[in-house]
Structure 1
């Protein structure tokens, strides 16, 4: 039995959802590299959806990949539930599926990347959000690629 092949082209949108801003990241069509795109300053749900919808249309997005801020003990805290609630509404509004990625420490990693570039994290909050979104999306792309390779090898036997 031959597994159903995934399409070669993938367009995923990574989101780092915060209470003040949403960092967005996209990937190249092959699904290898995630790149920060923009940071949206949150206003209202309607305005947030309109801005994200524009990017979804431009990039022909097929799936939303959202960072879920688990607590360090692995539980879902207040902020994670808040992100899930927003994401469920967003997914319905955009009519796109969602996958979650554990985003613990992505903002910290993004800040460290800025420090390595001799930039001040406190002056570049929007850039941190975009970089965090790119880290979230890259993690998802890497996991997807590994799982696809493992599944292909399994079915070759």
Structure 2
């Protein structure tokens, strides 16, 4: 299943992410968390549920969930994933299922909303989403380069956590 949000497309089966038709590098664990969140966007996913789903049979700290959520927020914006205190995380951005037709034609008219919405409304939604994504990108251009800064912060936190356990 392929889902579209903002100007991204995510293949939940292959765990691949693309933006404007170009593949975006996304590590396995954040991709698995993203798949969990977007395939059940109405649900609040607890840290323990995410740990069981993404790191089955392994003992890892809840910090890895926090770090990977931070990485996803760096890619998609802070509004993409909402934190519910002591409950978990929930996907917030509107999602649209992408039909097989759109994979070959790459047209926004082929994007199908998950509800049964007429095609002309789907196109309108796709255009609105593109406009919102452009606005978000324009607003973020003056801020820190999060796709670069976030992995550095995550690595620093992982090293600090490792050192604390030693």
**TM-score class normalised by the smaller sequence:** under 0.3
Larger radius of gyration: 2
| TM-score, structure 2 normalization | 0.26
